[in-house]
Each structure stands twice: as C-alpha cells, then as structure tokens.
Amino acid sequence: MPKLITLLLSLLLIALPKPEIPDSKRAGDVRAKVWPKLQKELKDRGFKTHSSIYIRIIKDISMLEVWVQSGKKYELFKSYDVCSYSGGLGTKTRNGDGKSPEGFYTIEPKQLNPVSNYYLAINVGYPNKVEQLKGYTGNAIMVHGHCASIGCYAMTDARIEEIYTLVYEAFTTGQKQIRVDIFPFRMDNARLKLYSAYYPNQVYFWRTLKPGYDLFEEQQIPVEYHIKGNNYAF
C-alpha cells in the first residue's frame, strides 16, 4: 500500500499543470545568445546551472545582485549596475510620484514581459501586501531594459538580457517564486545613522526593513516576512 500511495502521488505531481512562462521570439533569441555564457560562468563558479535565485537591489550604489542557491544557502553570483532609477532614496507611495520602491517583493512567471516597450521587463510586484495595507498606489514597476526610468529600475538592454534569462531559466526548472528585495543602502548601523540625517521622514520605515536585511546577511537565505499592524515583521 505505501508503494501504491507513493506511485499515485508521483503521477499526480506529473499531471499537475506547470505554470506557463510568457515567452517571445525576442526572449528566445536572447536566451540562445546569453544562456551558454551564463551556464559556463555558473559552472566555473561551482554552481549548478539550474538553481534557485534571489535578487537584491541596493539603491544608493545603483547595484542589482543575483544570488544563486548553493546547498542550503545562497551565494552572490553576479552584480549589475543599475543604469537608472528615479526619485532618489525613499520608497514609492503613490502613483505618479516618480519614486522607485523599496521593500520585499515576489515575482512569479506571469510577471515576465518578453515583449516590453523597454526590451525585456520583470514586474517586481509593487504594491506588495504591506504597501496595499498602507494604501500605496501605482503599478507596473519593472526591472527592465533601456536606461530611462519613472519609478522602475532600468538596467540597459545588455544587462537585462542576462537578468531576464537567469529568472526565466530558474522558473523552467521549478522555482515558483523569486524574491526581489530592494533596500535604500546596505543597512548597517553606520549607514542608517548617516542617511537618517538626510532623510528623517524615512527613518521609521527604514527601521522596518533593517531586520530583514540583517537576517539575510546572517543566514544567506531569502527571508519571509509577516505583517504586524501594517508593517514588515520577521
């Protein structure tokens, strides 16, 4: 009987529909060009070519990091310069404010746009649950190509080719969600004190982000948050 149950469960998992990943000739051509190079880079660094990934953006240094799972933890694979984001430090709160968001986001396959007007694009999922509770407005906040931004993170076409392909390939081998965490700066105490002097209205909000940042720095595993009131809690 246990063997029969195991067999039935296996058949059920096979039969479950896999999430459809949006695709296009443009995205396919990009993969054909950059995926062999990325596979070699992954292997040379000791990573498996199809592993779960995690994305972190640090605004003040205009940096997007791609981390790859290795064992139970994640290791930094590549860092990409962000070509442009708008509004400086401080998070987005309303449609049309020209700000780029800060917080903890999740992307799923349906958030890929392989036919974007900005070449290739990934919707970060703003507003998230916390932002919805706060009544924040706006949508279609992307990590995309080109080098122009009104609330998005523009990477240039060459950089988004690699980032988009890494995300796509992670989805093809079973990663259901990819975390995208966006911080104003590396949130050690010294930087928090420094930037708080220039952005006093952001201090309380940034302090709600810091525990999540610290947990990842300590554990090297993307953190899960819950909601306490209408703020992040860990």
- SS3 of 22, please? coil
Phi, psi dihedrals of residue 108, rounded to the nearest 5°: -120, 165
User: Could you give the number of structural domains in the chain?
Assistant: 1
**Measured distance CA(186)–CA(200) in Å, rounded:** 17
**Per the structure block, which two tokens stand in for 153?**
């993170």
Q: Decide if 44 is inside a domain.
A: yes
pLDDT of residue 3: 58
Q: Decide if 125 is inside a domain.
A: yes
Q: Decide if 83 is inside a domain.
A: yes
**Measured distance CA(9)–CA(197) in Å, rounded:** 57
pLDDT of residue 18: 54
From first to last of its 234 residues, the chain has per-residue pLDDT tens of: 555 554 554 444 444 445 699 999 999 999 999 999 999 999 999 999 999 999 999 999 999 999 999 999 999 999 999 999 999 999 999 999 999 999 999 999 999 999 999 999 999 999 999 999 999 999 999 999 999 999 999 999 999 999 999 999 999 999 999 999 999 999 999 999 999 999 999 999 999 999 999 999 999 999 999 999 999 999
pLDDT of residue 9: 46
Q: Decide if 111 is inside a domain.
A: yes
**Measured distance CA(118)–CA(154) in Å, rounded:** 9
For the chain, the average pLDDT equals 93
pLDDT of residue 78: 98
Burial level of 101, CB count in 10 A (0-12/13-18/19+)?
Answer: buried
Q: Please identify every residue annotated as catalytic.
A: 144, 152
Q: Decide if 98 is inside a domain.
A: yes
Residues 186/175, Cβ–Cβ less than 8 Å: no
pLDDT of residue 17: 46
Q: Decide if 25 is inside a domain.
A: yes
Quote the domain boundaries for residue 116: 19-186
Indicate which CATH number applies to the domain containing 106: 2.40.440.10
Residues 222/181, Cβ–Cβ less than 8 Å: yes
Q: Decide if 170 is inside a domain.
A: yes
pLDDT of residue 16: 42
Instruction: From 87, 125, 83, 90, select the one nearest 104 (Cα to Cα).
Output: 125
Q: Decide if 160 is inside a domain.
A: yes
